[in-house]
A and B are shown apart, each in its own frame.
Chain A
Amino acid sequence: MEKLHNRILSDAKLKAADVIREAEEKARQSVEESRVQAQKDADEILSKANLEAESIRRGILSSRIRANRLRVLDEKNKIVQSVLKSVEQRLSDIASTDQFQPALKRFVAEAVDAVGADDIVVRVGFQNAERKSLDSLGRTLPTRTRFVVEDKSIDDLGGVVAGDVGGKMIFNNSFRARIERLDNQLLTTISSTIFGE
């Protein structure tokens, strides 16, 4: 009888121990799986954070570098425009320098040559130019060339405009027109002189 009693209790204790061992094993596995998954999730958070950090870094830097490039371009443009303004001022006063006569002769010759007609009208107009010296140039031109001295500067800065009598063919050799034609060369010359580029 005692044996049976002990046997029943012993079986129950064994079964209880199994139940607890099973639960402990399940618990251990569950915690371990959670630890692995949590580490995986944490690594993913950090991996994304590093990508985001790189993106933020690039965003801040590229935006500032772009803004600084614009500042540099703006400043260079201001400098070039300032030089061009001085050039225009210098050209508008050119009539009082010894560069004037040779340049005027070249401008007239170029314009007449460009029109290439027999009967040509040449108009000249410069600020502060002596009428006498302009008229004397007119007298050196072929007889079929009509020479007109304007009271005002042509295209503001002065220059020469030639055309055939019918007005079909006109060649504008004013300072303004030459500046426009030489635009790229002028910018290159000014930039290379100022900035050494």
Chain B
Amino acid sequence: MEAVRKIVETEAQAKRIIEDAKLRAQEILESASAESQRVRQTAISGADQDKARILKEAREKAEADARSSDEETNALLENYKNLFENRKEVAVKKAVELILGG
């Protein structure tokens, strides 16, 4: 009788060991799930930050290039103004001669 009781107790102890292990396994999987989520969050958040930086830099670079184009155009227009002042009389004379057909 004592032996049977002892076996029952041992079986119960064994069952607890396995149940504890299952609980621990569950914790490990939950922790892994949380770790996966964190890894994903970190990667995506980093990529989103990089994206924002890339777009900002692209806009700034393009705006700088656009300003450079504006400056080139302003210089060109200034040059046209000078050319007009210096060559207007010759252009008028040539055009009049062309119309008169001499």
Residues of A within 8 A of B (CB): 1, 4-5, 8-9, 11-13, 15-17, 19-20, 22-24, 26-28, 30-31, 33-35, 37-39, 41-43, 45-46, 48-50, 52-54, 56-61, 64-65, 68, 71-72, 75-76, 79, 82-84, 86-87, 90-91, 94, 99, 102-103, 106, 110, 175, 178-179, 182, 185-186, 189-190, 193-196
Contact = CB atoms under 8 A, between A and B. Distances in A.
Contacts of A94: 96, 100
A16 B73 contact: no
B62 to A, nearest CB: 4
A23 B24 contact: yes
Nearest to A28: B32
A60 B50 CA distance: 21
B95 to A, nearest CB: 5
Given A15-B21, A46-B47, 15 more contacts: A4-B10, A28-B32, A37-B40, A46-B51, A52-B55, A53-B55, A56-B55, A56-B59, A57-B58, A61-B62, A71-B77, A87-B99, A99-B100, A193-B87, A196-B83
* Residues of A contacting B: mostly: helix
A110 B102 CA distance: 12
A75 B94 contact: no
Interface centre among B57, B88, B92 (most CB of A within 10 A): B92
Nearest to B41: A38
A49 B25 CA distance: 40
Contacts of B90: 193
Contact of A64 (B33, B70, B98): B70
Interface in B37-92: 37, 39-40, 42-44, 46-48, 50-51, 54-55, 57-59, 61-63, 65-66, 69-70, 72-73, 76-77, 80, 83-84, 87-88, 90-92
A82 B84 contact: yes
A91 B18 CA distance: 112
A19 B25 contact: yes
B42 to A, nearest CB: 8
Contact of A34 (B3, B13, B40, B66): B40
Contacts of A16: 17-18, 20-21
